[in-house]
Amino acid sequence: MAHEAVQLRHVTRRYGTGGGAVTALDEVSLDFQHGTFTAIMGPSGSGKSTLLQCAAGLDRPTSGSVAVGGTELTGLSETRLTLLRRRQIGFVFQAFNLLPSLTAGQNVALPLRLAGRRPAPARIREVLERVGLGERMRHRPAELSGGQQQRVALARALITRPQVLFGDEPTGALDSQTSREVLTLLRDMVRDEGRTTVMVTHDPVAASYADRVVFLVDGRVDGELCAASAQEIAAQMAQLEDVTC
């Protein structure tokens, strides 16, 4: 494919005005290539979540441009942006955000229902099987472990076959063993299905599952590592946190 999966050019996001204004992102330019797994790291308040929200079309930059799958988001109406998000983007958060009264299968079907489509039961089963939960279709969230709930949330994000999957601390609420299972699943999906994945994390071990780690400091890109170990990533983070203290 000719274009990047996600392209940010000189993206600035400012909150507020006057003396109390905060520049959460400051002229960030980044490309996320098709079929790659990128982790975004940086000290608290460095702009990681803002970057993800702008890249996913959930927030609009103050200036600069974002393109997803070759479509420029700047200037799209809210309706067209919503349609693009539904078709091309999946999102998983630290909180699983499942509806407690719905079964796993019904939760997974929700994005299609919201788009006015009738989900085929076979497709729901296929996606739940992909995350290892084919037998749990009729279970409600309270009957599932944290890791299983996050896998249902992942299946829900994948039901529309998005080009790009964004995760904001997707393993932040999981113990280390369960985190590893979810991260392995994410990495396998990138490798086997070419699902471009961008994940914010505080955890160097989680980041080591990615092909590339981009570091943010004060809303700017401050270096990156490729195919790095958790130790290398932790060392880089310690250095950045020292500098910003």
Ligand X SMILES: Nc1ncnc2c1ncn2[C@@H]1O[C@H](COP(=O)(O)OP(=O)(O)OP(=O)(O)O)[C@@H](O)[C@H]1O
Name, in order, each residue with C-beta under 8 angstroms of 31's C-beta and a sequence gap of 6 or more.
4, 6, 7, 8
61 touches ligand X (CB under 6 A): no
Name residues contacting ligand X, limited to 171-200 (CB under 6 A): none
Find the part of the chain contacting ligand X (CB under 6 A) among 48-56, 101-109, 137-145, 222-230. Answer: 48-56
Binding region for ligand X (CB under 6 A) out of 2-10, 14-22, 64-72, 188-196: 14-22
Q: Does 47 bind ligand X (CB under 6 A)?
A: yes
Our CB check for ligand X shows the closer of 45 and 132 to be 45
- CA 175 to CA 190: how far, in whole Å? 23
Alpha-carbon gap, residue 199 to 127, rounded angstroms: 20
Q: Do 25 and 54 form a contact (C-beta atoms < 8 A)?
A: yes
- Between residues 133 and 237, which has the closer beta carbon with respect to ligand X? 237
Least distance (Å) between residue 68 CB and ligand X? 19
Residue 46 or 236 having the CB closest to ligand X: 46
> Shortest approach of ligand X to residue 186 CB, angstroms?
19
| Residue 71 per-residue DSSP state | E
Name the region of 27 (left: φ>0; alpha: ψ -120 to 50; beta: rest): left
Residue 47 CB coordination number (10 Å): 25
130 binds ligand X (CB under 6 A): no
Provide the binding-site residues for ligand X, judged by CB under 6 A.
Answer: 15-16, 22, 24, 42, 44-50
